[in-house]
Amino acid sequence: MKIYNIFLKIVFICSTVNLSGIELSIERGDSLEAIHMLSEYVSVPSVSGNENEAAYFMASRCREAGLIVEYINDSPGSVNFAASLYPLNYGKPNIVFHNHVDVVPAGDTSKWTYHPYEGRVADGKIWGRGSMDNKGLGVIQLFAVRKFVEEAYKRDLPYNVTILFVSGEETGGVTGSKIVSEDDFLGKFNPVVVIGEGGAGMKELSFIRDDNPVFGISIVEKVNMWLKLSWQTDHAGHASIVEGDYASMLMINGLYNLLNTEMPLKMTPEASLMFVSLGDVMGGIKGKVLDKPDSKLFLKLMDKLSRDDPQLRDLISNKITLTGIDSEESGLNQSSNKEAAYLDVRMLPGTEANEVIDHIVSVIGDGVVEVEVIARGPYSRGTVPEKFFMEIADAIKSEFIGASVIPMLFPASSDNNYFRSLGIPVYGINPMVVSSDQMKAIHNYDEFIKVEDVLRGTVVFTSFLDSVLSQ
């Protein structure tokens, strides 16, 4: 999995902190309520474009918890709202938690052990579409923030805390985070940090000693771009007599060349930080090699290792994936003169769209292909780890004794980029230890989140908030 090798990263050694204030343990009543709420939430279908009912469900739960709910916009297929300790118009510096309500389609429901919209609780897990991505995180954030509602009434806390629920993340964020980020986000929310989905904790890593987990907090992500490639020629007709470079042949040959040509390696500052920090964690000769990520020796080593581990290469190269092909309708014995293919492109920070498009045209090299940009995500800039990174790291290490916490480049894309593009600190973290089978189930059948994930994740965010709100 990408996420594994993503964690082939970095050490940011954080000192422990003595927590004070509210009780950080999760009471049994809270535990049962959180699991029941998530089960109900999962049982409300919310495929992108149809997430209104689920959004209203969570808005109601936020109000019941004592939070102040304010809609950024509310229209069919695009409901985005904030749930805060204080009204946004107070203008207080704001810690913003971020999650998305929408989910991907469940596919063939007969292939699920439990119905994807049942929200079944069994075997220490909550099963169903969106349980892990991303409804579980939303419930964790709510149960952490609501612990400070009473405290916010009693005294003037140094920060507001807001949970931002958005639509449309799975389809590029156009109906959600794009709207929120462009609607005077800095002025309306006055954010000091945004904390969304991203990294998590992993144990199944060869360099981990004593079975202690490594948590990755994402500080940057790849930028997504969706492309349509088109081929159109005059060579068409009856399949038994057609000659020359007809569209179908050009498409197949071009895609074969493209998908079998490795993207060049490119070391970004964020990837460099990852590997340097990993070297600090590992020590020894390997650590010294990793400590010089810009050296020829390092790049040669990465080039060799990544040939057997393509996910490792994802950290230091752009990625092109074929997601579909389309042919002009014709008879089975008739060659089409018009073909199309669709690509999902994940670009490293700092990569220009034209750089990738020029690479595609050059590698295909038939002089016929035309490239159209269907959609492109927002520009991604890295977040330099600062005090809120350290506070999150301390909270993780307080709950997961012996854990290491590292900044990471996330090889996928999410709505975090919309907010990073505004120049504010943005971190991606799912505060839980994620297993390989759990990762494989995301966007797949039998998606689940462990009950333990919800409870311990709530403790982590509660601990984080207790520290920063007590200052």
Q: What is the pLDDT of residue 5?
A: 36
Q: Are 57 and 41 in contact (CB under 8 A)?
A: yes
Cα–Cα–Cα angle for 284, 287, 290, rounded to 5 degrees: 155
Residues 126-144 have pLDDT tens digits of: 999 999 999 999 999 999 9
Please give the average per-residue pLDDT across 326-337, as a whole number.
72
Q: What is the pLDDT of residue 154?
A: 95
Q: What is the pLDDT of residue 194?
A: 98
Confidence of residue 341 (pLDDT cuts 50, 70, 90): very high
Report the amino acid identity of residue 136. Answer: G
Q: How far apart are CA 359 and CA 259, in angstroms?
A: 12
Among residues 58, 56, 84, the alpha carbon closest in space to that of 70 is found at: 84
Residues 9-21 have pLDDT tens digits of: 332 222 222 223 3
Residues 64-121 have pLDDT tens digits of: 999 999 999 999 999 999 999 999 999 999 999 999 999 999 999 999 999 999 999 9
Q: Are 227 and 342 in contact (CB under 8 A)?
A: yes
Please give the average per-residue pLDDT across 152-180, as a whole number.
96
Q: Indicate if the pLDDT at residue 252 is higher than 70.
A: yes
Q: Indicate if the pLDDT at residue 309 is higher than 90.
A: no
**Look-up of token digits 């290490």:** 397
Q: Which residue has the higher pLDDT, 290 or 16?
A: 290
378, two tokens: 């927002």
Q: Indicate if the pLDDT at residue 1 is higher than 80.
A: no
Q: Which residue has the higher pLDDT, 248 or 242?
A: 248
Confidence of residue 157 (pLDDT cuts 50, 70, 90): very high
Q: How far apart are CA 452 and CA 54, in angstroms?
A: 23
Q: Does the bond joining 50 to the residue before it have cis omega, within 30 degrees of 0?
A: no
SS3 for 160?
A: strand
Q: How far apart are CA 44 and CA 455, in angstroms?
A: 22
CA distances from 108 to 114, 119, 176, 389, 448 (A): 12, 17, 27, 40, 17
**Look-up of token digits 């805390």:** 161
Cα–Cα–Cα angle for 13, 406, 428, rounded to 5 degrees: 130
The DSSP symbol for 293 reads T
Q: Does the bond joining 417 to the residue before it have cis omega, within 30 degrees of 0?
A: no
Residues 363-414 have pLDDT tens digits of: 999 999 999 999 988 887 899 999 999 999 999 999 999 888 889 998 888 8
Confidence of residue 276 (pLDDT cuts 50, 70, 90): confident
Q: How far apart are CA 215 and CA 199, in angstroms?
A: 7
Q: How far apart are CA 464 and CA 454, in angstroms?
A: 15
Least confident of 41-55, 58-72, 266-280, 343-357: 266-280
Neighbour count for residue 441 (Cβ, 10 Å)? 18
Residues 182-208 have pLDDT tens digits of: 999 999 999 999 999 999 998 865 444
Phi then psi for 322, rounded to 5 degrees?
Answer: -80, 125
Confidence of residue 233 (pLDDT cuts 50, 70, 90): confident
Q: Which residue has the higher pLDDT, 93 or 240?
A: 93
Please give the average per-residue pLDDT across 428-453, as a whole number.
94
How many residues does this entry show for the chain?
471
Q: How far apart are CA 32 and CA 336, in angstroms?
A: 59
Q: What is the pLDDT of residue 63?
A: 98
Q: What is the pLDDT of residue 138?
A: 98
Q: How far apart are CA 132 and CA 409, in angstroms?
A: 21
Q: How far apart are CA 100 and CA 123, in angstroms?
A: 26
SS3 for 371?
A: strand
Q: Which residue has the higher pLDDT, 343 or 237?
A: 343
SS3 for 325?
A: strand
Residues 351-361 have pLDDT tens digits of: 999 999 999 99
Instruction: Dihedral sign for Cα 99, 59, 389, 10, please.
Output: negative
Q: How far apart are CA 221 and CA 407, in angstroms?
A: 12
Mean pLDDT of the chain, nearest integer: 87
